[in-house]
Amino acid sequence: MAADAPRSNFIRQIIDKDLASGKHSQVHTRFPPEPNGFLHIGHAKSIVLNFGIAEDYQGTCNLRFDDTNPLKEKVDFVNSIQEDVRWLGYDWEGKPRYSSNYFDQLHGFAVELIEKGLAYVDFSTQEAMREMRGTLKEPGVNSPYRDTSVEENLKHFADMTAGKYEEGTAALRAKIDMSSPFMVLRDPVIYRVRFAHHHQTGDKWCVYPMYDFTHCISDALEGITHSLCTLEFQDNRRLYDWVLDNISIDCHPQQIEFSRLNLQYTVMSKRKLHLLVEEGKVSGWDDPRMPTIAGMRRRGYTPSSVREFCHRIGVTKMDNQVEMSMLEACIRDELNHGAPRAMAVIDPVRLVIENYPEGEVEQLQAPNHPNDDSMGTRELPFAREIYIEREDFRESANKKYKRLVLDKEVRLRNAYVVKAERVEKDADGNITTIFCTYDPDTLGKDPADGRKVKGVIHWVAAEHAKPAEFRLYDRLFQVPNPAAEEDFFSTLNPDSLVVKQGYVEPGMATAKAEQPFQFERIGYFCADNQDSSAKQLVFNQTVGLRDTWNDEA
């Protein structure tokens, strides 16, 4: 169970009124994903809303798979969705449900509409149907099959069900109003022929119901009180209500729409996410650059940070673009307080302390968190040779540079003050070794003679450090709204993944997958949940210590 403080919004106000008036005595919601891809951060908003409301009102929430299109659905997607919901901290009422559980009943309701003269089988081509549908400014035109008799329509639908018609040659349409100002009410298709193996029902069916017909009936069969969906289904509410008003069913849930999540520097369209995976632009659905819940988890986001983000953005009816920095701030705020510290060098250069005894190894104490003593301490081996970041040394620099410079001093984090004396370079002029001296009287204290050492840099002992791969992730796209571009691939960020080979302090060899750490002075990281092992450590950067995108802006 996810323990988050409830925050009021217009949906909760509706629910409060319904409970106060006696319209409902309890709340029953549902989360109805299509199993045609991995869930993304936009789905997380819906999960937090639906499951959160059920928790806060001591109600129930169903997980129901909208599995009406077997051509695009996979059991792998079903499994990943269940895992994502549980990872976010929620559980559902009873077993997972499927729209396919209700295929027999849905078929029966379709027959009922035919018997009432409210549905007919149309043999028009899809192109002809589109033309007859009209436009926003012009009414539609009745199909030549609209006035077919009930008896003939029952026979045709039975033949569709028996597999006597090829795909695309026959469809069952609701008979509503071809002149309606709402396109969704212009005799929508509610059943189509599709010869496809279904992951739940096998080969039992060759006709499948459409989403708008299925969803409302599934809600009603499950006793849902409040059917929460995003704003693009606002007009569809009229069809939702029409179907339930015209079939023999007692329950009539209330559909309520809220704005979907639009997050900058990424895409939320499953079609576009599919393309990223299929075209090899990312390593898979769980690539840490993807906005999928699995990708965010692999990158090091925590369930509580995702829930907090969903709470911060709120629930409204107003569409807008949410800044990526808002999401990053949620995980940064959490890890700043809760992540233990460690040291890693991602672009190493060798440093030799010439006056430190050869062969000696000293165990130094370092706090696991500078502001939380309850996290305890750890031991760091310190020896004559260490690694530091290449960018933490310059042969000469101005006064603003607070790191190691030739003939200048700097403090090694949790260790001694060292002074750079000379360097060695390779044939190309690259520095290979920095030679220093250290002041043995500066462990845990300032130099005795009052020398002011302003800079502090991190390090790892060369002999004891563990080699590691560091995957530095940035935003997947270079523009805030890539979905608006004609070719969204053209806006991909070529630097969205940079791989470095470096070292971590020895204690990181046992880091658990997804366990967050702050690598001091670098950022927040976690061990990759797939590729990291004791033999090959791999750390994913979750987020930097600060928002560099806003700095650049």
Domain 10-99+212-326 homologous superfamily, CATH: HUPs (3.40.50.620)
Q: Kindly give, in sequence order, each residue whose CB lies less than 8 Å from that of residue 70, ignoring residues fewer than 6 positions away.
A: 194, 196, 197, 198, 199, 208
- pLDDT at residue 553, as a whole number: 41
Q: Are 1 and 7 in contact, with CB atoms under 8 Å apart? A: no
- pLDDT at residue 448, as a whole number: 82
Q: Where in the chain is the domain with CATH 3.90.800.10?
A: 103-209
- pLDDT at residue 450, as a whole number: 79
* pTM score over 0.85: yes
What is the C-alpha separation between 252 and 244, in angstroms, rounded? 6
Strand stretches in 194-299, DSSP E? 207-209, 226-230, 254-258, 262-263
What is the C-alpha separation between 57 and 258, in angstroms, rounded? 19
Q: What is the DSSP letter of 250?
A: S
Q: Where in the chain is the domain with CATH 2.40.240.10?
A: 344-458, 466-552
Catalytic one among 146, 238, 270, 390? 270
- pLDDT at residue 547, as a whole number: 82
Burial 118-156 (b: 16+ CB within 10 A, else e): bbbbbebeeeebeebbbeeeeebeebebeebeeeebeeb
CATH second-level architecture of 103-209? Alpha-Beta Complex (3.90)
- pLDDT at residue 319, as a whole number: 86
What is the C-alpha separation between 121 and 145, in angstroms, rounded? 7
**271 carries an active-site annotation:** no
- What type of residue is 50? N
Q: Are 244 and 216 in contact, with CB atoms under 8 Å apart? A: yes
- pLDDT at residue 550, as a whole number: 61
- Spell out the CATH class of 466-552: mainly beta
Catalytic one among 260, 272, 394, 402? 260
Burial bucket for residue 542 (CB in 10 Å: 0-12, 13-18, 19+):
buried
Q: How many CA atoms lie within 13 A of 284 on its CB side?
A: 7
- The domain over range 344-458 is classified in CATH as 3.40.800.20: no
Degrees, nearest 5: CA angle 177-180-182 = 120
Catalytic one among 34, 93, 421, 469? 34
CA distances from 250 to 220, 236, 452, 499 (A): 8, 20, 80, 59
What is the C-alpha separation between 112 and 373, in angstroms, rounded? 69
Burial bucket for residue 268 (CB in 10 Å: 0-12, 13-18, 19+):
middle
- pLDDT at residue 451, as a whole number: 85
pLDDT in tens, the chain (553 residues): 455 656 789 999 999 999 999 999 999 999 999 999 999 999 999 999 999 999 999 999 999 999 999 999 999 999 999 999 999 999 998 999 999 999 999 999 999 999 999 999 999 999 999 999 999 999 999 999 999 999 999 999 999 999 999 999 999 999 999 999 999 999 999 999 999 999 999 999 999 999 999 999 999 999 999 999 999 999 999 999 999 999 999 999 999 999 999 999 999 999 999 999 999 999 999 999 999 999 999 999 999 999 999 999 999 999 889 999 999 999 999 999 999 999 999 999 999 999 999 999 999 999 999 999 999 999 999 999 999 999 999 999 998 999 999 999 999 999 999 999 999 999 999 999 999 999 999 999 989 887 889 899 999 999 999 999 999 999 999 999 999 999 999 999 999 999 999 999 999 999 999 999 999 999 999 999 999 999 999 999 999 998 876 654 4
What is the C-alpha separation between 410 and 432, in angstroms, rounded? 19
**272 carries an active-site annotation:** no
**270 carries an active-site annotation:** yes
Q: Which residue in the block uniquely carries the two structure tokens 């997607």?
A: 77
What is the C-alpha separation between 251 and 353, in angstroms, rounded? 78
Residue 445: both structure tokens together: 């204290």
